Amino acid sequence: MCAPCLSTEVDITDGISKECSLVQCNGCLRFQRSTGAKGTSGIYAECPLESLDLMALCLKKIHGLNKDVKLIDASFIWTEPHSKRIKLKLTIRKE
């Protein structure tokens, strides 16, 4: 089968989460990197919008990006600043 026909038959994004949640402090606007031990709030890091640090944090939160799927490209999609949403455009390849 040729590549265009194969892409209509097979969904390589199956198993990859379409949404995930990031925790952001309302006071200092830092993002939570990891959860802490029981009873603690975890480690927060300053990640400016559209920075590489924020991109890495977002990619770590996406379930399903593993050895079966190769990440080719990732970029931010513009959203309204007050919407509190971060959107990513991912280009993936599955062998």
The pLDDT tens digits for 23-77 are 998 999 999 987 766 666 778 999 998 999 999 999 999 988 887 888 999 999 9
Note the pTM of the prediction, 2 decimals.
0.80
From the list 63, 74, 62, 67, the residue with the least C-alpha distance to 95 is: 67
Please report whether residue 38 resides in a domain.
yes
Q: What's the pLDDT tens digit per position in 1-19?
A: 787 888 788 888 888 888 9
Please report whether residue 88 resides in a domain.
yes
Please report whether residue 81 resides in a domain.
yes
- Could you identify the residue written with the tokens 């770590």? 60
Please report whether residue 33 resides in a domain.
yes
Please report whether residue 19 resides in a domain.
yes
Please report whether residue 51 resides in a domain.
yes
What are the CA-CA distances from residue 34 to residues 12, 14, 17, 24, 61 (Å)?
29, 26, 19, 12, 10
Please report whether residue 20 resides in a domain.
yes
Range of the domain at 44: 12-94
Please report whether residue 3 resides in a domain.
no
Give the total number of structural domains in the chain. Answer: 1
The residue type found at 84 is K
- pLDDT value at residue 39: 60
